[in-house]
Amino acid sequence: MIVLKADIPEAGYGKKVVLRNVSINVEQSTIVGIIGPNGAGKSTLLKVLMGIVKTAHGTVSMDGKVITNHSSEENVRNGISFVPQGNRVFTELTVKENLEMGGYLLKDKVEIEKRLSSVLELFLDLKDRIKQDAGRLSGGEKQQLALARALMLQPKILLLDEPSLGLSPKLVTKAFETIYNINQQWKTTILIVEQKVREVLKITHHVYALRMGEVVFAGAPQQLQDSEELKRIFLL
């Protein structure tokens, strides 16, 4: 079953066209990767899907329902969560308060506590720091908190924009393990933009490669184990 589908002939910022003829499908309970060199349009694509960047020509649909140019708030209510790059958390709030902010649409206090408990079982490091101010967390812990907060609404699809950005090699490995576990344990559908190509190929079921705003590859990650194919995408 296709959770998210996008056909975008053109999108960008004002008169600047960034995406051209981009079509993607995201199957339920899969991890789909979007790779490509800097400036390829990867982050812009996520912003179009989230409703942050509007498209005059294109269609985005979720569960068969057209959501093109819906507001970000509408998309959150419809089951899309977005984690932008940069480990963005509310630094002056505690870990628990950050998570509660992630569940802001929930009105039932019992349900909020239930979600908190469920999310923290995936992020045991955060469980030990539940009362700590988020500003005192390490970079890796802030990334975990950003992911955990996005899961509070149990989204149908999770959009991740370079979750490894700024992390040490050890923490990069842990971040990808966490993303894989979210998919395996919660069956959450994930669309991930990432520069760490080798790492993302290990956890994805399907991959799209963008170059200069266009899809230049779509297929199984195993097909990109060939270094010559990756070189074609990134260097030509």
List pLDDT tens digits, range 143-158.
Answer: 999 999 999 999 999 9
Number of H helices, E strands in the chain: 9, 10
Residue 236: per-residue pLDDT: 52
d(CA 87, CA 89): 6
- On whether residue 161 sits in a domain, the answer given is yes
What's the domain count of the chain? Answer: 1
Residue 56: per-residue pLDDT: 87
- On whether residue 60 sits in a domain, the answer given is yes
CB atoms under 10 Å from CB of 205, counted, come to 15
Predicted model pTM = 0.95
> Residue 169 belongs to a domain with what CATH number?
3.40.50.300
- Average pLDDT along the chain: 94
- On whether residue 32 sits in a domain, the answer given is yes
**Radius of gyration (Cα) for the chain, nearest Å?**
17
Residue 100: per-residue pLDDT: 96
Residue 86: per-residue pLDDT: 84
- On whether residue 15 sits in a domain, the answer given is yes
- On whether residue 151 sits in a domain, the answer given is no
| pLDDT tens-digit readout, 159-201 | 999 999 989 999 999 999 999 999 999 999 999 999 999 999 9
Q: Comparing C-alpha atoms, which of 78, 84, 114, 77 is closest to residue 99?
A: 114
- On whether residue 14 sits in a domain, the answer given is yes
E-assigned strand segments in the chain: 2-13, 16-27, 31-35, 57-62, 65-66, 80-83, 157-161, 189-193, 206-211, 214-219
Give residue 163's domain range. Answer: 2-87+156-235
- On whether residue 229 sits in a domain, the answer given is yes
- On whether residue 227 sits in a domain, the answer given is yes
Stretches in the chain below the pLDDT threshold 50 = none
